[in-house]
């Protein structure tokens, strides 16, 4: 609502918020003259404050305004559902709980609420829908009830997560495919901007709908600044920030993005079927590697300097190092907000060779623990997700029935385990085998793991 007020009542504003960061973080979001300030602008403001060199201007006034009613009316007047939809909304005890459920009811949804009470201690789970573990309660509510779709918001309500009733997490880059097709139907030839963490599937989908696809740096302020320079019809980050310029003001708003998505899916008889039909790949979610303060940017600077990959690889260093192959990509970048390296990998098949990313990256990352640089990825695909484990040693090694997969024996026969697909140059082993290998990481059968076996990780 700060962004709404700075778009309708005035041109500048400031909000105290820790966003989706841990509860002991705090900070400010600032709008100055209609634009979000960041980077060098924030450092210049800091210098002015430290030097006490500001100059007060005469005039000005102060008044208190409750913008909730106008904000609600603006959204409700814009959104038209083709049919009522039953949804579950998880606000994660963030600030969206104070407004989003009522707005969603006002547009015609039947809403089941989870954790709407605003509580900065976040007693139920952390309010960050980009992390799959924070969606477990939402998935459980969908499974036990008859709602058609689940929505989740982050701590300050500017990001959106979507889960279908069969438990599929529709990541923001797939949401963007739906949004892009809808927006481009009214803005033919429009530019759609997205960040470096997004799927390879997104740009072809935008272009097939008649739009221009533009990849840019991660950071909501950076993307909004890009709009100020070049203009776009729609923008997005993989973390869940969605920026609508068509019918809206260009700022990121999880509630409004959720309403726009519901408007689109309400035209279909089954929202889940529509969403699950969007192009997909095998991918990890965002993987975060904890580092010392300042270390991520140092590592990434070295990676950019040394990046060298054979054709047909395409290297993009606009934000870290992203390397695209015809059948997948790998990314390492430094977070803008916390001292972590951010990794993401995607393949068009489960057998994508993500280990091709390692020879260049490993030397620059050698001073960090290998288990931190190449953490336990999750393989995501429509309807199937497994979390790999690393190879145990000594007494922790799994039973021989798991270790036998390498010698050509089935790891197990449990229904639902993924077929083996050797990655990193080794030969694929066929669909009768029961694990997936990502470089030096293999996913175990979840039933064996839950029964006490650790699975095999090469």
What is the Cα–Cα distance from 250 to 234, expressed in whole angstroms? Answer: 8
153 CB contacts (<8 Å, ≥6 apart)? Answer: 89, 90, 91, 92, 94, 96, 100, 127, 129, 159, 160, 161, 254, 255, 258
CB-based burial of residue 57 (10 Å sphere; 0-12 exposed, 13-18 middle, 19+ buried)? exposed
173 CB contacts (<8 Å, ≥6 apart)? Answer: 194, 197, 198, 199, 201, 202, 236, 238
What is the Cα–Cα distance from 40 to 204, expressed in whole angstroms? Answer: 34
| DSSP sequence for 33-93 | TTEE--THHHHHHHHHHHHT---PPS---------HHHHHHHHHHH---SS-EEEEEE-TT
H helix count then E strand count, the chain: 15, 22
8 Å CB contact between 405 and 444: no
What is the Cα–Cα distance from 127 to 104, expressed in whole angstroms? Answer: 19
Secondary structure (3-state) at 380 = strand
Name the token pair of 125: 């789970």
Catalytic positions, written as ranges? 19
User: What are the φ/ψ torsions at residue 259 (nearest 5 degrees)?
Assistant: -65, -40
CB-based burial of residue 165 (10 Å sphere; 0-12 exposed, 13-18 middle, 19+ buried)? buried
Name the token pair of 53: 């060199």
8 Å CB contact between 219 and 196: no
Instruction: Please report where in the chains the tokens 């077929």 appear, as a residue.
Output: 419
In sequence order, which ranges of 319-369 are alpha helices (DSSP H)? 358-365
């Amino acid at each position: 609502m700060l962004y709404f007020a700075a778009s309708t009542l005035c041109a500048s504003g400031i909000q105290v918020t820790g966003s989706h960061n841990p509860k002991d973080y705090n900070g400010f979001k600032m709008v100055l003259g209609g634009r979000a300030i960041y980077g060098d602008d924030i450092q210049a403001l800091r210098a002015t404050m430290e030097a006490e060199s500001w100059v007060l201007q005469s005039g000005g006034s102060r008044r208190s305004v409750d913008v909730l009613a106008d904000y609600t009316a603006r959204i409700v007047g814009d959104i038209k559902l083709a049919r009522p939809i039953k949804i579950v909304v998880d606000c994660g005890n963030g600030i969206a709980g104070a407004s989003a459920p009522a707005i969603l009811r006002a547009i015609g949804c039947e809403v089941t609420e989870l954790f709407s009470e605003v509580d900065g201690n976040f007693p139920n789970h952390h309010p960050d829908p980009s992390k799959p573990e924070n969606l477990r309660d939402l998935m459980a509510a969908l499974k036990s009830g008859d709602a058609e779709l689940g929505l989740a918001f982050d701590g300050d309500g500017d990001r959106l997560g979507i889960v279908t009733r069969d438990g599929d997490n529709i990541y923001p880059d797939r949401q963007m495919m739906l949004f892009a097709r809808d927006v481009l139907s009214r803005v033919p030839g429009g530019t759609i901007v997205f960040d470096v963490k997004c799927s390879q599937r997104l740009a072809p989908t935008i272009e097939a709908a008649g739009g221009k696809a533009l990849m840019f740096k991660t950071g909501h302020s950076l993307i909004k600044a890009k709009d100020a320079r070049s203009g776009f019809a729609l923008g997005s980050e993989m973390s869940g920030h969605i920026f609508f310029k068509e019918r809206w003001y260009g700022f990121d708003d999880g509630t409004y993005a959720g309403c726009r998505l519901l408007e689109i899916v309400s035209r279909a008889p089954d929202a889940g079927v529509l969403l699950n039909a969007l192009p997909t790949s095998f991918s990890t979610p965002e993987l975060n590697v904890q580092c010392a303060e300042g270390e991520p940017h140092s590592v990434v600077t070295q990676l950019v300097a040394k990046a060298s990959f054979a054709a047909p690889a395409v290297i993009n260093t606009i934000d870290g190092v992203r390397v695209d192959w015809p059948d997948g990509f790998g990314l390492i970048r430094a977070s803008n907000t916390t001292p972590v390296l951010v990794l993401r990998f995607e393949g068009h098949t489960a057998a994508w060779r993500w280990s091709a990313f390692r020879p260049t990256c490993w030397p620059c990352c050698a001073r960090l623990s290998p288990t931190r640089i190449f953490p336990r990825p999750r393989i995501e695909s429509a309807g199937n997700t497994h979390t790999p484990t690393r190879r145990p040693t000594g007494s922790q090694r799994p039973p021989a029935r798991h270790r036998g997969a390498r010698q050509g024996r089935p790891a197990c026969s449990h229904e639902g385990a993924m077929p083996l697909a050797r990655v990193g140059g080794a030969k694929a082993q066929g669909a009768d085998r029961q694990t997936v290998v990502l470089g030096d990481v293999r996913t175990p059968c979840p039933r064996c793991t839950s029964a006490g076996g650790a699975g095999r990780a090469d």
